[in-house]
Amino acid sequence: MKAPRYSDDPALHLICARAVPFIDSETLCGRTGCEALFRKERCFILYMSDGGLTSPAQERLVSLTSREALIWLNDQGEEVGTFWD
């Protein structure tokens, strides 16, 4: 039995997920957001959430090119979370 090719499979495939620590600008408290990179057919989708527990969470979905997905995967240190800008 052959494994399905991405072009035949409409599902999202999780590539990588990570926690992103940050300082909330309103409360000045430390918080942790999350980012997850998914692959779907011929595109990448980045899901981002600020992890809001006491207030409604801010969430985003961003379509990325292959190049942008590679940049996101290789973000390190202070570069992590730059796609929120």
Model confidence over 23-78: pLDDT tens digits?
Answer: 777 777 787 888 999 998 888 999 988 776 556 667 889 999 999 999 888 877 65
9 within domain boundaries: no
Residue 17 pLDDT greater than 60, yes or no: yes
Residue 62 CA to residue 38 CA, distance in Å, equals 10
6 within domain boundaries: no
Residue 12 CA to residue 40 CA, distance in Å, equals 5
Residue 16 CA to residue 18 CA, distance in Å, equals 7
The Cα-based distances of 64 to 7, 22, 35 in angstroms read 17, 23, 13
How many separate domains does the chain show?
A: 1
45 within domain boundaries: yes
Reported pTM: 0.68
10 within domain boundaries: no
85 within domain boundaries: no
2 within domain boundaries: no
Q: What is the pLDDT of residue 30?
A: 80
Residue 1 pLDDT greater than 80, yes or no: no
The domain containing residue 48 runs over which residues?
Answer: 15-76
